[in-house]
Amino acid sequence: MVSDTTAAEIERRRAEEAEAESADIDRTPVRTYWQLVRQRFMKHRLAVFAVIVLVVLATYAIIVPTVTGDAWRTTQLFRDDAPPELFSEDGEFTFAVLGYNEYGQNLFARLGKATQTSLTIGLAAVIIIVVIGVFIGSIAGYVGGWVDNLLMRFVDIMLSLPGLFVILMITAFFGQGNVWVVVFAIGLTGWTTAARLVRAEFLSLREVDYVQAARALGASPQRIMLRHMLPPAMAPIVVAATLGIADSVVVESALSFLGFGIGRDSASLGTMLQNARDYFFSGPLKVVYPGVILILIVLSASFLGDGLRDALDPRQRVEK
Amino acid sequence: MSDAAMAPSDGVVEGEQMSGGQTTEQRAAARGGSAAAPLLEVDNLVKHFEIRGGLLGISKLGAVRAVDGVSFSVTEGETLGLVGESGCGKTTLGKVILRLLPPTAGSVNFEGKSLFDLSSRELKAARRDIQVVFQDPYASLNPRMSVGEIVGEGLYVHGMTNKRERESAVRDLLKRVGLNQQHIHRYPHEFSGGQRQRIGIARALALRPRFIVCDEPVSALDVSIQSQVLNLLSDLQDEFQLTYLFIAHNLAVVKHLSTRVGVMYLGKLVELSDADELYQAPAHPYTKALLSAIPVPDPTVRRERIVLKGDLPSPANPPSGCRFHTRCPMAQEICKVEEPPLRDVGGGHMSACHFAEEVTPLGSE
């Protein structure tokens, strides 16, 4: 039997413990989930650097084509392979810091336009990939059963087709050279991985206690999916999406390089590489410029993906 | 290793740590005894998980019999403890009662109304009355939601859409479970295990339920925190007239809270009786083995220790006859052939053993 003194003693000690614990929490400021995400992300040096690189590239892709206007496609035969300059001989501001190509086109302006095209295609394709992938994947993962079976076998079929050839066929069939056809071709073939990812996340989240608790509270399926399952599933999706941008840019370049992508009347990193192919030895810089941009996009996207993966994981603790 | 040997780790909650020193009878008496009609009736509940295989995953290869014909009832205001080793189906049973898993067969009545025949609207209403506290305080709280959002979710879902109203209700709940109201905007990762479990309890309480399934609510906590949470649950029971189904793998934890205790083995209830009766005079050799695993906080006491041989058989392929016969020290020929029914062995003490009358109290040999 418990004596009164020990019971009182225990009561007092428990109160003290609770007090100490809450005092411990009170000393740290309230930090929301997103504040923590930012703190974790900032600790990831490479990812921060990647963001800076991507911002610089995006700025370049937006500003230079706007400022230089048509310079990226204006052919000036008398300026073929002309050296770099800021002003032309007649004092006109040209901003041709990378010189001219064999058609006398301003390489700096052309590279800006190409970066713009490639980044646009990459982003737009990824949006399609994420939308379709999240939709199909969340239905398969949440509903399960034969619906899941059916959708996933369809994904298997999609995955068994060689992606690049399907894209080639779509672009060849539906209007070669159109940017949006390329975007849709990449988007429609690329969503399978995202769908699998989301499905896997949903399948495991379905059994997690806090999702079960929400069901026990009577929350609707929509609320459970949007509030409890999609946010944690978003972390891998965001990571996959950043990597998807890199993939899409590369696929577009490959398409254009093969002559099925963006037409010659436009410019992308792929068309620039294709044009430069013939001058690999005489003018290697024409290959290097778009190549470097391509590498920068791909590397930055994957570093960004790494950083986001760590930052979005709520289990990672931030030390002060 | 014998599974029964896993139990002792939580044993320290026994003894003087329980506040007030109230015995189980006193607590039951305070709540008006157990003469009232049952609040929850589980009748022959079966839950099988099918093992599918084959090319398309359609052909049935067998079934894991997680819960295989369990019947019991819980009276308003009482606590039914449910113990058994890992994999015996106790958590599955809880989830079926909560309608988190579809049943294979059987029925569960809440206030005389079958929980399995409800429309989705009725089910949502019924969910207000039946809530759950989960085992793992780390997995049971959404890390992306603040304490206020977590505790207030049930209120929101059931129509309390006014934010200010909800916040004051949440603050009140936090106070009742012993948490600082200032922490309403904090996130789960900032709290200790015991505090998180309090948040989970507050969430369960938000809808003012009448029945709470406590699914091993203290198994994941430090021993020193366990008693705090158990005391809290006991206090809340008095305050809100709650009825508990208290699931645990440890008889010591169940002892202080339960008015009655059920023991499960491989998907079946093997013994069900008043708590004190079960501890004093077990009528099933499995219960006796579990009891012998509870450590006694007195080094001079020598006690018989029954170590069960072998592992828990697979619930996909349970033994014939009595499911416990493969590990039972008292097993006879009949046990391999004939399955013993759960029968009254005197004074409402139910046991599923052919030789229930011959089971001696612990330490009598």
Chain A: residue whose CA lies nearest to B99: A216
Rounded Cα distance between B18 and B228, Å, is: 8
Q: By percentage, how much of chain B surpasses pLDDT 90?
A: 43
pLDDT band for position A13 (cuts 50, 70, 90) = low
Q: Could you read off the pLDDT of B233-244 as tens digits, one per residue?
A: 999 999 999 999
Residue A315: list chain B partners with CB under 8 A: 143
Q: Which residue has the tokens 């206020």?
A: B148
Structure tokens at B258: 């339960």
Cβ atoms within 10 Å of B79's Cβ, excluding its own? 28
Highest mean pLDDT among A71-75, A151-155, B219-223: A151-155
Confidence category of residue B10, pLDDT binned at 50, 70, 90: very low
| pLDDT at residue A7, as a whole number | 63
| Beta strands at B130-133 and B211-215: parallel, antiparallel or unpaired | parallel
| Number of cross-chain residue pairs from A and B with Cβ atoms under 8 Å apart | 100
pLDDT in tens, A162-213: 888 888 888 888 877 788 888 999 998 889 989 999 999 999 999 899 999 9
Q: Give yes or no for A52 touching B (CB within 8 A).
A: no
- Measure the CA–CA gap between A120 and B360, rounded to whole angstroms: 80
B173 contacts on A by Cβ (under 8 Å): none
Q: Percent of chain A beyond pLDDT 90?
A: 29
- 3-class state of residue A86 by DSSP: strand
Is residue A288 predicted with pLDDT exceeding 80? yes
The pLDDT of B334-341, averaged and rounded, is 90
- Phi, psi angle pair for B309, to nearest 5°: -85, 150
Q: Which residue has the tokens 């089910």?
A: B123
Q: Which residue in B has a C-alpha nearest to residue A23's C-alpha? A: B180
Report, in angstroms and rounded to the nearest whole number, the Rg of chain A calculated over CA atoms. Answer: 27
Q: Decide: helix, strand or coil at residue B72.
A: strand
Q: What is the pTM of this model?
A: 0.77
Question: Rounded to an integer, what distance in angstroms lies between the CA atom of residue A70 and that of residue B119?
Answer: 66
pLDDT at residue B21 tops 50: no
Interface test with B, best of A2, A204, A210 (most B CBs within 10 A): A210
Top-confidence residue, B314 or A91: B314
- Cα separation, B280 vs B269, in Å, equals 19
- In terms of CA atoms, which chain A residue is nearest residue B229? A14
Tokens of A300: 């930055």
Structure tokens given for B207: 């809808």
Residue B196 has pLDDT above 90, yes or no: yes
Is residue B31 pLDDT above 60, yes or no? no
Q: Is the CB of B95 less than 8 angstroms away from the CB of A228? A: no
Biggest CA-to-CA distance, chain A: 105
A29: phi then psi, degrees, rounded to nearest 5? -70, 155
Of A133-142, B17-26, B236-245, B355-364, give the lowest mean pLDDT range. Answer: B17-26
Q: Which tokens is B52 given?
A: 């599918």
Average pLDDT of chain B is: 84
CA distance A88 to A85: 7
Give dist(CA B234, CA B218) in Å, integer. 13
What percentage of chain B exceeds 70 in pLDDT?
88
- Taking contacts as CB-CB distances below 8 angstroms, the residues of chain B near A210 are 139-142
Query: Would you say how long chain B is, in residues?
Result: 365
Mean pLDDT of B154-158: 93
- Check whether A110 has a pLDDT greater than 70: yes
Which of A11, A212, A218 lies closest to B157 in CB terms? Answer: A218
Which of A21-35, A217-231, B53-67 is the least confident region? A21-35
In the structure, what pLDDT confidence band is assigned to residue B317 with cuts at 50, 70 and 90? Answer: confident
Work out the average pLDDT over B55-63: 73
- Distance from the Cα of B182 to chain A's closest Cα (Å) equals 9
